Amino acid sequence: MRTIVLFFILGFSFKTWAQEMPQSSFILVLGVAQDGGYPHIGCQRNCCKMAWKDEKLRRNVVSLALVDPKTKKWWLFEATPDIKVQLQDFRKRTNEAYPYLPEGIFITHAHIGHYTGLMEFGREVMSTSSLKVYVLPKLKSFLEQNGPWSQLVKLNNINLITLSTDQPIDISNNKITAFTVPHRDEFSETAGFKIETPAKKYLFIPDVDKWSKWNKNIIDEVKKVDVAMIDATFYSNTELGNRPIAEVPHPLVTETEELFSKEDRNIKNKIFLIHFNHTNPLLWDPSTQKQVLKNGFNFAKQGQIFY
């Protein structure tokens, strides 16, 4: 009951569109899974078997929509492999009240779950014109210099806009600030985003190696916002049976819980875990989900609305 009451105090809502249409800027969660989605390609373990059988259990790769009802514009965060499903899902959930394409797309980094959806905007598919794509400098160079992405730039399907680290930009009635986090930066730097609407402040960090490697304090950063959607790729270090988990470092859910263990419950309640690997029981195990909620934390849900 305490958690439920806190949701209403903070002004979060999980109402359906049929019940109430938000009148101020809001965030809509379009995906919560790691780059491979859920279920995962080639996975025949019990964690995926249930999702192969039941489509209702499937989850898209992590993505958010920032929506401004006043200007009837919206922006997408991440161009995932599930982008065509997510654009259709956005259209359905908002009762077709907004343009099909976003006003722009903000991308964190060059790992397949976060940028490869851009291919849908090429001449083989939508052949868009000057769709704004906001990126940090190294990612911009990567897209300009490597095919097939370079063709999107050459044909003006996308218009790359360079972001500067820790420099906010204004979009409509909202403000977006990109910052860097430590990750496996093989092809580009890795960004996180602070999203500020007139009413709420959000933190979005779907990928990071370890909180201890970051030059900022994650506890302090969470305290500055109303909602923090942060990396929860793995629940524990025993999930990957076929490869060392050290090859893909992420802060374990248990590590994040321990890090915040001494904080007040109202700080923990700001955290909505996201970017779940298919092995992460937060995707499919009710007992694990209940335990995380009992510990004072939350987990993001596909279709969830924050306003």
Of 226 and 248, the structure prediction assigns the larger pLDDT to 226
Instruction: Give the global pTM.
Output: 0.91
> Distance (Å, rounded) from C-alpha 178 to C-alpha 165?
5
User: Comparing 19-33, 70-84, 85-99, 190-204, which segment has the lowest mean pLDDT?
Assistant: 19-33
What the block records as the tokens of 4 is 């439920």
- Average pLDDT for 266-273: 97
Rounded mean pLDDT of the chain?
A: 91
Q: At 135, phi and psi to the nearest 5?
A: -145, 160
Cα–Cα separations (whole angstroms), residue 40 to 135, 222, 229, 300: 27, 30, 22, 19
- With cut-offs at 50, 70 and 90, classify the pLDDT of residue 6: very low
pLDDT at 19: 43
Residue 245, pLDDT > 90, answer no
What the block records as the tokens of 240 is 């990957």
Residue 42 Ramachandran class (φ > 0 left, ψ -120 to 50 alpha, else beta): left
Q: Where are the domains of the chain?
A: 2-306
The 10s digit of each residue's pLDDT in 198-212 is 999 999 999 999 999
CB 66 within 8 A of CB 177: no
Please state which CATH number belongs to domain 2-306. Answer: 3.60.15.10
pLDDT at 10: 39
Which ranges of the chain would DSSP assign to H, the alpha helix? 2-10, 46-53, 83-93, 112-115, 137-145, 149-154, 218-223, 253-259, 265-268, 286-294
Which is nearest to 273 in space by CA: 288, 85, 49, 263?
288
Residue 165, pLDDT > 60, answer yes
- With cut-offs at 50, 70 and 90, classify the pLDDT of residue 21: low
